[in-house]
Amino acid sequence: MSDVPVLIRGGRVVDPSRRLDQTLDVLLRDGFVAAVAEKIAPPKGAEIVDAAGLVVAPGFVDLHVHLREPGFEQKETIATGTAAAAAGGFTAVCAMANTDPVADDAPTVAFVVRRARETGRVRVHPIGAISKGLKGEELAEIGSMKAEGIVAVSDDGKGVQNAGLMRRAMEYAGMFDLPVVIHAEDSGLAMGGVMNEGWVSTRLGLAGQPAAAESVMVARDVQIAALASARLHVAHVSTRASLEAIRGARRHGVDVTCEATPHHLALTDEEVARSGYDTRFKMNPPLRSEVDRLALVAALADGTIDCVATDHAPHHADEKALEFADAPFGVIGLETALPVLVEALLSPKHLSLMRLVEVLSTAPARLFGLPYGTLAEGAHGDVVLFSTTRSTHVTPDGFHSKARNSPWVTRTLKGRVERTWVAGREVFSRGPGGAKP
């Protein structure tokens, strides 16, 4: 039995894969995009969606989320994490390997794939670990994980300190055509710092980690990538010096891409002071200086930063209720990504609407070779409908995520996701109560 066709009428269709920005109808049928054109006649029995005044775009793709299952179901599950994704307009997410057990072998990856099929609301693509147990000592079973569907390898959460192991990981991942995603952190330089090292950390009396703890690892790994002819992707880039290392490497032909998070693009370490040591502003890499933030914004516009990824990192409220120095790193981000980018980048015209959709959808899909990020006829019926003028009021009870550790709680942000479809089926709708302008 086939699904009811969906006709999305009269929206502003923004499709970076074809540089298309035009008022059009979009027809979803049998899981795919059946047509994109002016005034499509509704097929019999079709659901008609009035998209006037709204943007219709290919569903967002997040290369960096922590779904916490297996092992940390008190923080998040694949069911709740993907419900959060759908509510944020994301139709595909890549799940990091730092679960318990770690996704460092085929059975654990197979478990994630199966759970996602049974309980996931959006598409889930697992990322396998680089090293067994994320210990940075022995390579994980990259080949057998690839057979179960991993799309990249990463020890995210920890930097790989051993350069020799990183070289072998890059050589091995290259044989399986997988990108290596680095969490760039030199643990000796970071030295247990809980926020950015600088004037603010000094003032607050908190241990800081210097920007160089990130950028020296980026500088190291682009050189190893050149040596290994590898495909390197730098996760959550947060400093100006890291961007300079990436630009320099590209000039020399190194195959390196990178992502930035909405929080690093919109916030600085001053928030830790302003909020009075609020742990909702504690993440790794930490919020940096305004100089770094401005460099990130410029780099996202000029293409040095390829895409946005949320680094959605749910924690239980009790864990985040600890003292700043003791609380775990990480903030949730799936449900606020679009409004944060509209508020911080689109509205002040730091980014065009075309580029905004590109960095959330078309670019990340391309980086990991995923068949999304386009509304071309025949493409997967993964679509987001959003407003750039309506507002999202972020409340603790409004999240679909199990977690509440968001820096945006109590804030009102411009931009709002209205509806999301995966394979032509609705997976999120704001509903009549919330859909008022």
Q: Among residues 183 and 402, whose Cβ is nearest to Zn ion?
A: 183
User: Which of the ranges 19-27, 179-187, 359-367, 377-385 carries the binding residues for Zn ion, by CB under 5 A?
Assistant: 179-187
User: Which of the ranges 183-191, 264-272, 358-366, 401-409 carries the binding residues for Zn ion, by CB under 5 A?
Assistant: 183-191
Q: Among residues 285 and 424, whose Cβ is nearest to Zn ion?
A: 285
Determine contact, residues 372/357, Cβ cutoff 8 Å. no
- Written as six digits, the tokens of 238 are 């947060």
Residue closest to Zn ion (Cβ): 183
The binder of Zn ion chosen from 123, 183, 355, 416 (CB under 5 A)? 183
Site for Zn ion in 407-426 (CB under 5 A): none
Give me the residue label for tokens 């003791």. 326
Determine contact, residues 395/65, Cβ cutoff 8 Å. no
Q: Among residues 315 and 390, whose Cβ is nearest to Zn ion?
A: 315
User: Which of the ranges 30-38, 176-184, 202-210, 427-435 carries the binding residues for Zn ion, by CB under 5 A?
Assistant: 176-184
Q: Among residues 156 and 335, whose Cβ is nearest to Zn ion?
A: 156
Number of chain positions touching Zn ion (CB under 5 A) = 2
CB of 220 to Zn ion, least distance (A): 16
Q: Residue 81 contacts by C-beta under 8 Å, 6 or more apart in sequence?
A: 65, 66, 67, 68, 69, 93, 95, 312, 314, 334, 401
User: Which of the ranges 83-91, 178-186, 240-248, 394-402 carries the binding residues for Zn ion, by CB under 5 A?
Assistant: 178-186
User: Which of the ranges 4-12, 32-40, 87-95, 177-185 carries the binding residues for Zn ion, by CB under 5 A?
Assistant: 177-185
- Written as six digits, the tokens of 66 are 């922590």
Q: Among residues 87 and 217, whose Cβ is nearest to Zn ion?
A: 217
CB of 356 to Zn ion, least distance (A): 23
- Written as six digits, the tokens of 36 are 């994109």
Distance CA 301, CA 309 (A): 15
Q: Among residues 156 and 382, whose Cβ is nearest to Zn ion?
A: 156
Quick note: the x/- pattern for Zn ion over 123-162, rule CB under 5 A, is ---------------------------------x------
Site for Zn ion in 318-337 (CB under 5 A): none
CB of 183 to Zn ion, least distance (A): 4
Q: How many CB atoms lie within 10 A of CB 115?
A: 18
CB of 311 to Zn ion, least distance (A): 6
CB of 284 to Zn ion, least distance (A): 6
CB of 363 to Zn ion, least distance (A): 19
Catalytic residues: 311
Closest CA to 187 of 166, 206, 222, 214: 214
Q: Among residues 161 and 429, whose Cβ is nearest to Zn ion?
A: 161
CB of 95 to Zn ion, least distance (A): 13
Query: Is 104 an interacting residue with respect to Zn ion (CB under 5 A)?
Result: no
CB of 100 to Zn ion, least distance (A): 17
Q: Among residues 285 and 415, whose Cβ is nearest to Zn ion?
A: 285
The residue ranges that bind Zn ion (CB under 5 A) are 156, 183
